[in-house]
């Protein structure tokens, strides 16, 4: 036998037995399947009550083996693993859980990279590759930055799979990339699945021969697209440009690489200003703002300007992450707190891969304020300057913004005034020059404080910051 039938699923981890029963049914109706693979990083590592009729593989926590949790239920604990089916078809697994999380990419040592290259070489020309994240090169074709992992690009190019399966995030996303070529005799098909109960396709069945047939590619190789774009960009810029970026005034300057120990938002920074922290969660924390935009509110005796910051040192945030969900909880609680004092709240963030540490700011405004009018006026002002990236805001109310947020490049305002928050989002283009003070310009217009746009002109003394933080804690604790 030289052909294998494979079933790939992205199950809800809360109902594994039902999913196994579904796989058994599919095996009876449309099989027999040689193997099934459960994608995702949250599959319970316990023996299921329902016995699988076909071998099922899934990613598990760190280890150096493939462990049989139960009959036909195998946990892939190794960072790299390969399974050879009776037909000779090879399935390769790159297990993100078994080594470092994506957030730790920047801290890998040279030794880690050398080990990775040696292991990749062992998996050359694997038939089917399974990872959690997409390759960033594929994500870039869909303008999705947060579903990708740079290391996956390296893995995919080294293994040259004929099929590559991933999910990209906890919620997943169904996407099938056009067939592209590695060589004249080898092609690749990338498939991403949505998670069960997400209203997207969450399973995929296919047949594969050990001997690859020659298929006509219908799409350009995304990895070559990236390389070509980089070469074209390097041809246009001075050789030193990889270390440079455009500053706010349009001049070129070196972009610093800031480690957590030097980041003002990281708790591990020895100089972290703990006297400004209002509340700490499991994945994020709330702090008052340095150089607050509003003047102190007379009845509240504080400015109200706050910042919600994820604890992880990341430039952008995944909308399916626990940190994002916890930050949304902070948003709702803050909105409720200020609503009780007859005030609306405006949250804003700028997401870009060039950022040092993602964060979201919040400023309370009067209920009578016309935020939309101020946004429109300041957007027109912004567009008058040729060096500024043009901002086109769209208004969303009660809509799912996951696909927009996963691009990892946007300016966003969230206004809590009525029952449902209203989102205003403008996508960003590449690394074009951006006025980073734009959100403060908008809110300075709303509050009629044009001289308070720049935070460093609104500094408070440490004693004032400490007093503001203590007042904020008392104000917020009941919410």
Q: How far apart are alpha carbons 149 and 449 in whole angstroms?
A: 42
| Better-predicted residue by pLDDT, 227 or 346 | 346
Any domain includes 107: yes
Task: Indicate whether 220 and 283 sit together in one domain.
Answer: no
Q: Are strands 3-9 and 35-38 parallel, antiparallel or unpaired?
A: parallel
Same-domain pairing of 186 and 335: no
The least confident of 105-114, 183-192, 340-349 is 105-114
Same domain, 298 and 446: yes
Q: What is the mean pLDDT of the chain?
A: 86
* Judgement on whether residues 221 and 354 belong to the same structural domain of the protein: no
Confidence of residue 176 (pLDDT cuts 50, 70, 90): very high
**Per-residue pLDDT tens for 118-128?**
555 566 789 99
Q: Is 398 exposed, middle or buried (0-12, 13-18, 19+ CB in 10 A)?
A: exposed
Round to whole Å and give the CA distance between 297 and 421. 23
Q: How confident is the model at residue 325 (pLDDT cuts 50, 70, 90)?
A: very high
Whether 238 shows a pLDDT value over 90: the answer reads no
Q: What is the CATH number of the domain that holds 204?
A: 3.60.21
Structure tokens at 358: 């993602």
Number of independent structural domains in the chain: 2
Q: Closest by alpha carbon to 405, among 468, 323, 349, 339?
A: 349
Whether 124 and 203 share a structural domain = yes
Q: Does 244 map to a domain?
A: no
Please report whether residue 266 resides in a domain.
Answer: no
Say whether pTM exceeds 0.75: no
DSSP 178-245: PPEEEETTEEEEEEEEEPTTSSS--EEEEEEESS-------S--HHHHHHHHHHHHHHHS-TTGGGEE
221 and 152 share a domain? Answer: yes
| Any domain includes 370 | yes
Q: What size, in residues, is the chain?
A: 479
Torsion of CA 288, 291, 293, 298, to 10 degrees: 70
Residue 267 is predicted with a pLDDT of: 87
Name every residue whose Cβ is closer than 8 Å to that of residue 226 and which is 6 or more positions away in sequence: 136, 137, 140, 153
Distance, C-alpha 404 to centroid of its chain: 11
Backbone angles phi, psi at 400, to 5 degrees: -85, 115
Q: Which of 431, 429, 384 is nearest to 236 (CA)?
A: 431
Rg (CA), the chain: 25
Query: Is there a contact between 96 and 39 (Cβ–Cβ < 8 Å)?
Result: no
Domain of 459?
Answer: 273-476
- Tens digit of each residue's pLDDT (9 = 90 or more) over 278-318: 999 999 999 999 999 999 988 899 999 999 999 999 889 98
pLDDT-derived band of residue 199, with 50, 70 and 90 as boundaries? confident
Does the residue 257 lie in any domain?
Answer: no
- 214 and 289 housed in the same domain: no
Same domain, 143 and 287: no
**Domain C-terminal end among 229, 259, 294:** 229
Q: Are 315 and 352 in contact (CB under 8 A)?
A: yes
Query: What value does the mean pLDDT take over residues 339-347?
Result: 96
Does residue 277 share a domain with residue 207? no
Judgement on whether residues 292 and 218 belong to the same structural domain of the protein: no
The last residue of one of the domains, among 174, 196, 229, is 229
Question: Are residues 86 and 1 in contact, defined by beta-carbon separation less than 8 angstroms?
Answer: yes
Judgement on whether residues 439 and 295 belong to the same structural domain of the protein: yes
**pLDDT digits over 433-468, tens only?**
889 999 999 999 999 999 999 999 999 999 999 999
> Could you tell me the two tokens for 351?
């997401």
Residue 418: what pLDDT? Answer: 79
Boundary residue ending a domain (171, 202, 229):
229
Is the distance from CB of 406 to CB of 368 less than 8 angstroms? Answer: no
Q: How far is CA 193 from CA 11, 317, 372, 446, in A?
A: 10, 21, 38, 43
DSSP structure string for 123-159: TTT-SEEE-SSEEHHHHHHTT--TTEEHHHHHHHHHH
User: Within a domain: residue 254?
Assistant: no
Residues 197 and 309 in one domain: no
| Mean pLDDT for the stretch of residues 18-32 | 94
Flag whether 366 is in a domain. yes
């Amino acid at each position: 036998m030289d052909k294998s039938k494979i079933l790939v699923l992205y199950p809800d981890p809360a109902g594994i037995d039902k999913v196994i029963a579904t796989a058994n049914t599919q095996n009876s109706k449309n099989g027999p399947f040689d193997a099934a693979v459960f994608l995702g990083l949250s599959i319970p590592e316990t023996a299921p009550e329902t016995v699988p009729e076909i071998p099922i593989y899934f990613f598990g926590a760190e280890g150096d083996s493939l462990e049989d949790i139960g009959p036909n239920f195998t946990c892939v604990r190794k960072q790299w693993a390969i399974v050879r089916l009776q037909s000779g078809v090879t399935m390769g697994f790159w297990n993100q859980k078994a080594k470092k999380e994506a957030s730790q990419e920047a801290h890998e040592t040279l030794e880690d990279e050398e080990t990775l290259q040696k292991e990749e070489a062992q998996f050359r020309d694997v038939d089917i590759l399974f990872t959690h994240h997409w390759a960033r090169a594929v994500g870039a074709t869909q303008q999705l930055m947060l579903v990708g992992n740079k290391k996956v690009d390296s893995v995919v190019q080294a293994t040259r799979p004929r099929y590559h399966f991933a999910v990209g995030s906890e919620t997943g996303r169904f996407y099938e990339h056009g067939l592209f070529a590695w060589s004249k005799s080898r092609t690749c098909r990338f498939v991403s699945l949505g998670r069960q109960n997400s209203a997207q396709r969450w399973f995929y069945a296919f047949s594969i021969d050990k001997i690859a047939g020659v298929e006509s590619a219908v799409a350009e190789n995304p990895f070559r697209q990236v390389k070509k774009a980089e070469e074209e960009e390097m041809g246009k810029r001075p050789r030193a440009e990889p270390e440079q970026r455009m500053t706010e005034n349009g001049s070129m300057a070196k972009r610093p690489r800031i480690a957590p120990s030097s980041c003002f938002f990281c708790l591990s920074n020895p100089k972290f200003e703990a006297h400004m922290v209002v509340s700490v969660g499991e994945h994020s924390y709330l702090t008052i703002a340095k150089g607050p935009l509003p003047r102190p509110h007379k009845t509240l005796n504080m400015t109200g300007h706050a910042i919600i910051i994820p604890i992880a040192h990341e430039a952008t945030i995944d909308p399916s992450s626990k940190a994002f969900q916890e930050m949304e909880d902070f948003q709702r609680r803050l909105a409720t707190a200020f609503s009780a004092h007859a005030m609306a709240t405006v949250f804003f963030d700028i997401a870009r891969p060039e950022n040092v540490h993602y964060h979201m700011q919040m400023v309370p405004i009067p209920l009578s304020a016309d935020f939309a009018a101020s946004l429109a006026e300041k957007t027109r002002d912004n567009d008058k300057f040729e060096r500024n990236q043009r901002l086109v805001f769209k208004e969303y109310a009660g809509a799912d913004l996951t696909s927009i947020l996963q691009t990892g490049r946007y300016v966003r305002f969230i206004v809590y005034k009525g029952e449902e928050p209203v989102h205003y989002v403008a996508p960003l283009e590449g690394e074009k020059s951006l006025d980073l003070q734009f959100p403060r310009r908008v809110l300075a217009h709303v509050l009629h404080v044009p001289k308070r746009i720049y935070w460093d002109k609104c500094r408070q003394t440490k004693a004032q910051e400490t007093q503001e933080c203590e007042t904020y804690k008392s104000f917020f604790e009941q919410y």
